[in-house]
Amino acid sequence: MGDTHPKGISMMNKALVAGLLVALPIASANAGGTVTMPAAVPFLEGSGVSKNIQDECGLPEYVAEQVRTSLEKAGYTVTTGTDSKKGDFLDMHIAGAVSQGNAFTGHHKAVTVTGKLLRDGKVVGSFTDLRNSMGGAWAGYKGSCTVLHRCVATIGQDVAKFVANPREDAQLGDAH
């Protein structure tokens, strides 16, 4: 059974726990890194997103802000730029946005973002992220852009998790 510590912990288990405690700070220090992304996420050419959504909701800037915020909360350093050849670069597009209903009839809103993570110019993963919302609590008091922004906030969290574990053709959120 092995040598036992006076408090009942075997010496082998004690060594294992000590090793894990030493390795833990190293693993969390490497969890982040630097990710470069555009300051605004453009609408995909031919996305069919209605002009009023494009003109009124500020989705390109809001998607970028939510992804950046979620990445920073996950421990990443985020820079803005367009150079996809050096380091990690997150290339994204708004592939769709739907705004049906209203505060009186009920909301049905959805946002789709597609993207890929490039490392030194080579694709290491790609994703499609779809999030739907009916407005949540007090939906009757929310405007269409506010509900679309709820979708985008969740997309930001999804994308941060994807960057930590990139894979080809990942289906995130309601897309899977």
Number of structural domains (the chain) is 2
Shared domain check, 87 and 24? no
Q: How many CB atoms lie within 10 A of CB 58?
A: 16
CATH of the domain at 106: 3.40.50.10610
pLDDT tens-place string over residues 100-140: 876 667 668 899 999 999 999 999 999 999 999 875 544 44
Domain that holds residue 5: 1-30
Shared domain check, 60 and 90? yes
pLDDT tens-place string over residues 132-169: 987 554 444 456 888 899 999 999 999 999 999 999 99
**pLDDT, mean of residues 19-48:** 70
Give the CA dihedral 32, 38, 39, 42, nearest 10 degrees.
-130
Shared domain check, 145 and 126? yes
Shared domain check, 21 and 42? no
Shared domain check, 85 and 126? yes
The model carries a pTM of 0.78
The whole-number pLDDT of residue 147 equals 86
- Give the β-pairing of 76-80 and 88-102: unpaired
DSSP bridge pairs for 43? 94
Shared domain check, 68 and 23? no
